[in-house]
Chain A
Amino acid sequence: MKRFFDFKLAKKTVSLAVLLCVLCTFLAFPYFAYAEEKITKLDQLDGKEIAVQTAVLYEEMLFDRLPKATFQYYTMPNDMIMALKANKVSAYMIEEVSFYVQKANHPDLAKLDEPAGIAEYGIVIGNNEKRETLKKQLDEYIDKANKEKIIEKMYEYWIINYDPDESKTDLSGLTGENGTVRVAIEGGYEPFSYISNGKPCGYDVDFVARFCREYGYKPEFYQVPFESIAPGVEAGKYDMGMNIVISDEREDSAVMSKAYITCPILLIVLGGEKDNLGFFGKMSRSFYKTFIKEGRWKLFVEGTGITTLITVASVFFGTLLGFAVYLICRNGNKIANKITDFFLWLIHGLPTVVFLMILYYIVFGSTKLGGTWVSIVGFTLMFACAMYDMLWVGCNAVGKGQREASRALGYSDSQSFFKIILPQAAKHFLPIYRNEVVTLIKETSVVGYIAVLDLTKISDLVRSRTYEAFFPLMATAIVYFIISGIMTYMVRRVEKTIDPTKRSDERVLKGIKTE
């Protein structure tokens, strides 16, 4: 028997890893070297590029003041800092409160004295049977919290005296006698909602906890990108969506609570003092923040687990489903073919993210099916399509003569398919199959859109805590390489094992006396 561990392959992997490290060092240089350009007045920004977070609508505050400015949209605050440092934008817009946290991590950031405006944040309420009650209870509670200075105290604790290491959210005493509420939070948005020690916390989480304690709910938190919160809530997938800027347009289409926090919006530029740690000092601090602090490596492990689960399950079920559908359609059953063609057309025509969001918010919108399961369903369907196509191509590549010859000998239709056609088709489609598996692994990186904490999403969340891009992104890239390496290796093994022309003569003649 051959050893499963392939020494040659291991050697290859090691040399590849060394190459990657060298590449990383090169990539890291520009990241740790800062560019400079002085901006001190708001009007200087007219005609410049300004970064703003998708779906927060802060840019509307500047339309009149800076008519010639253009806006770039980013999903996470962290990305805006990176963009500013890479000179892709001249400034970015952020809430005053978040700025203090960012400043602690990036001393070279500076704010303009004049704020862009004041934003009010409310809670968008889910489009389901709880809507009326929640709206009433939330408004009631916000009034009460204002009156009893709870909001003021929370602001003091989370914003003015915020300490990333010490501030804690009290999630105790949530009995849930009146049921659960599903709450969508950004999750990468310190100090409002972020993940600390693997648990959600921050101002928003604190507020939700207090509200739920008052009314006897048990909250379930979902980390969702900002731009997906409103659609998810509108689909009734979540009961509450936190930290949504109140605007007239939004109030027309969605049900929103009163403001539970107000905050000045600042413009941030480069120009603070410089970080005087050396290159290696910065690297090791960055490494510590990314992996060691709060045991964040555990998050990476969990994310890897989710990504692997989605990939393996989708490949497995997708292969079975694609095969089953092919068997049904193989002999030209008209109805089956029409239906299959329709689904192929539908699934092939949609970008992965859109397809997943449709499944999550619309098709399974009213069910309690979690994001991970929806992802498995979605990718299973996508892989089944690929499998079906591969089987067509592979089986068509086997000459018509093979089928005719076997049928003429007396093989039945299915005997002919399984004994003659399929073994030969496998040789044609397995190399494509291998590529499809790798493609699938990479495509799973979008599941963060439907609140799945996969590897990419974890890296986003960690980045939003550390405000560092290098280690989270590199770690993520390497893990993806390893996962696809292992999957590819396994498919190759299967390919070799089932290749009939690679059999030894003894195996062909097993159990036969040859005189």
Chain B
Amino acid sequence: MIELRHLRKEYENAIPLEDINVTINFGDVISVIGPSGTGKSTLLRCINLLEEPTSGDIFLDGECITAKGCDINRVRKKMGMVFQSFNLFGHLTIIENIMNPQITLLGKSKQEAYDKAMELLSTVGLASKALSYPDELSGGQQQRIAIARTLAMDPEIILFDEPTSALDPSMIGEVQSVIRMLAKSGVTMMIVTHEMDFARKISNRVFFMDEGGIYEEGTPKQIFENPTKEKTRKFIYRLSSLRYRIDSQDFDFSTISEEMQGYSEKLLIEMERVSKLQMSLEELCANNLMQMEKNPDIKIKIEYSEKSDILFLFIRYKGEHFDPKDSDNELFLSILGEKTTEITDEIIKESHDEYNNSISMKFKWED
């Protein structure tokens, strides 16, 4: 139904879309996910030409809509769009927001437009608000109206640009359920979203965007359970890490503890686990590894996986090997003895760099 060929979009200082080639079929419900700044919204806005692509072609039902003489206004009537910020017309009542485009653009009579608008308002559960103005409604209500306004035009495809990002958590549900209802009724849709669960449940295809294009594409099952490519995996498992390097005796551990604080607050990691990790880190590095060499060289990586709920500590260092079990710190040894803690101590024989010793620790919450 829609085909993108070699679509490219450049800005002065960024190229969000390098070369997109994809086909959207009738009845598809596509979720577009990915880190911010990877061109998800740009892709959507290029499809209905709100952004003019730098090069490449877009075909709608076999017609090239990027061609010069193409009447964009006619094409746009077939493509609905729902915005993050709702964009209801502030000077019109709710009913007029839905009626006026039908009258102006589809040439319907006032009565026809009204009947259709009321029917849609009932569908989204807001018939009683017909004569209110947009600023009298909550965000969730406004977004449902915006969806109704789009539906009133009988579009072939609806593009949702982060429809729930501007909403209070309490209102996300009402909007999602309207979209879910549409998905079930077979409307072709493309949704840019940060709500992974929602994306997973609603769509039949998922585009993961990065590196200027669709980095990985698949069914929700493939993308969310078995992502094959590294960046997808990292994104899905929400892995992000803290990294440090100790290369002198007077390394300041307070930096680590400060950053660790912020990191744990952001990811909601329990203080108990964080202090266990900090205790282990100081015992291993400050009290032992740093004492053994005059010029220590130690790399540290701290990582938390939301998915598996494990807090990782990786240490690699140069020089002589140190066995954590030789520690004389009893508190540290008792941490090691806990069921929720795992430790691996290795000497890497064929290391590609000179960091030939490694210690990795896992801190779990419960078994």
B-binding residues in A (CB < 8 A): 399, 401-402, 404-412, 415, 419-420, 423-424, 427, 500-501, 505, 508-509, 511-514
A-binding residues in B (CB < 8 A): 48, 50, 73-74, 76-77, 79-81, 83, 85-93, 95-96, 100-101, 104-105, 110-111, 114, 131, 133, 146, 149-150, 153
**Residues A411 and B73 in contact in the complex (CB < 8 Å), given A401-B83, A404-B87:** yes
Contact A420 B131 (CB under 8 A): no
A211 to chain B, nearest CB (A): 67
Contact A404 B83 (CB under 8 A): yes
What residues on B are CB-neighbors of A405 within 8 Å?
81, 83, 87-89, 146
Contact A410 B90 (CB under 8 A): no
What residues on A are CB-neighbors of B74 within 8 Å?
410
B241 to chain A, nearest CB (A): 37
What residues on B are CB-neighbors of A513 within 8 Å?
111
The CA-CA distance from A500 to B133 in the complex, in Å, is: 10
Contact B153 A410 (CB under 8 A): yes
Closest chain A residue to B152, Cβ basis: A409
**Residues A408 and B89 in contact in the complex (CB < 8 Å), given A505-B131, A512-B110:** no
Q: Is the interface of A mostly helix, strand, loop or mixed?
A: helix
Contact B105 A411 (CB under 8 A): yes
Q: Please, could you name 10 A-B residue pairs with CB atoms under 8 Å apart, sorted by A? A: A402-B89, A405-B88, A406-B89, A409-B76, A410-B101, A501-B91, A501-B133, A508-B96, A508-B131, A512-B114
Contact A399 B101 (CB under 8 A): no
What residues on B are CB-neighbors of A412 within 8 Å?
73
Besides A402-B87, A408-B48, A500-B92, 9 more A-B contacts (Cβ < 8 Å) are A399-B87, A401-B85, A407-B76, A408-B81, A409-B76, A409-B77, A412-B73, A424-B89, A501-B133
What residues on B are CB-neighbors of A406 within 8 Å?
89
What residues on B are CB-neighbors of A508 within 8 Å?
93, 95-96, 131
Which of A401, A404, A410 makes the CB contact (< 8 A) with B77? A410
The CA-CA distance from A349 to B224 in the complex, in Å, is: 63
The CA-CA distance from A412 to B105 in the complex, in Å, is: 9
**Residues A410 and B73 in contact in the complex (CB < 8 Å), given A401-B87, A501-B133, A505-B131:** yes
Contact A409 B91 (CB under 8 A): no
Which of B81, B90, B96, B110 makes the CB contact (< 8 A) with A402? B90
Contact A419 B104 (CB under 8 A): yes
- Best-surrounded residue of B80, B85, B101, B146 (most CB of chain A within 10 A): B101
Contact B76 A500 (CB under 8 A): no
A493 to chain B, nearest CB (A): 19
Contact A407 B50 (CB under 8 A): yes
Closest chain B residue to A413, Cβ basis: B73
Closest chain B residue to A515, Cβ basis: B118
The CA-CA distance from A427 to B101 in the complex, in Å, is: 22
What residues on A are CB-neighbors of B110 within 8 Å?
511-512
The CA-CA distance from A52 to B77 in the complex, in Å, is: 75
A416 to chain B, nearest CB (A): 10
The CA-CA distance from A401 to B48 in the complex, in Å, is: 15
What residues on B are CB-neighbors of A399 within 8 Å?
85, 87
B61 to chain A, nearest CB (A): 16
Contact A408 B73 (CB under 8 A): no
Closest chain B residue to A408, Cβ basis: B81
Contact A408 B111 (CB under 8 A): no
Which of A408, A420, A423 makes the CB contact (< 8 A) with B76? A408
A370 to chain B, nearest CB (A): 44
What residues on A are CB-neighbors of B150 within 8 Å?
409
The CA-CA distance from A67 to B220 in the complex, in Å, is: 98
The CA-CA distance from A167 to B187 in the complex, in Å, is: 95
The CA-CA distance from A505 to B76 in the complex, in Å, is: 31
Contact A419 B100 (CB under 8 A): yes
The CA-CA distance from A411 to B79 in the complex, in Å, is: 12
B341 to chain A, nearest CB (A): 52
The CA-CA distance from A55 to B227 in the complex, in Å, is: 90
Contact B90 A424 (CB under 8 A): yes
Contact B73 A512 (CB under 8 A): no
What residues on B are CB-neighbors of A407 within 8 Å?
50, 76
Contact B111 A409 (CB under 8 A): no
The CA-CA distance from A424 to B87 in the complex, in Å, is: 13
What residues on B are CB-neighbors of A512 within 8 Å?
110-111, 114
The CA-CA distance from A405 to B101 in the complex, in Å, is: 11
Closest chain B residue to A420, Cβ basis: B89
Contact A409 B153 (CB under 8 A): yes
The CA-CA distance from A509 to B77 in the complex, in Å, is: 25
Closest chain B residue to A426, Cβ basis: B91
What residues on A are CB-neighbors of B95 within 8 Å?
508-509
Closest chain A residue to B159, Cβ basis: A408
The CA-CA distance from A356 to B79 in the complex, in Å, is: 54
What residues on A are CB-neighbors of B101 within 8 Å?
409-411
The CA-CA distance from A399 to B91 in the complex, in Å, is: 12
Question: Across chains A and B, which 5 residue pairs bring their CB atoms closest together, nearest first?
Answer: A405-B87, A410-B77, A401-B87, A408-B81, A410-B76
**Residues A411 and B104 in contact in the complex (CB < 8 Å), given A405-B83, A512-B111:** yes
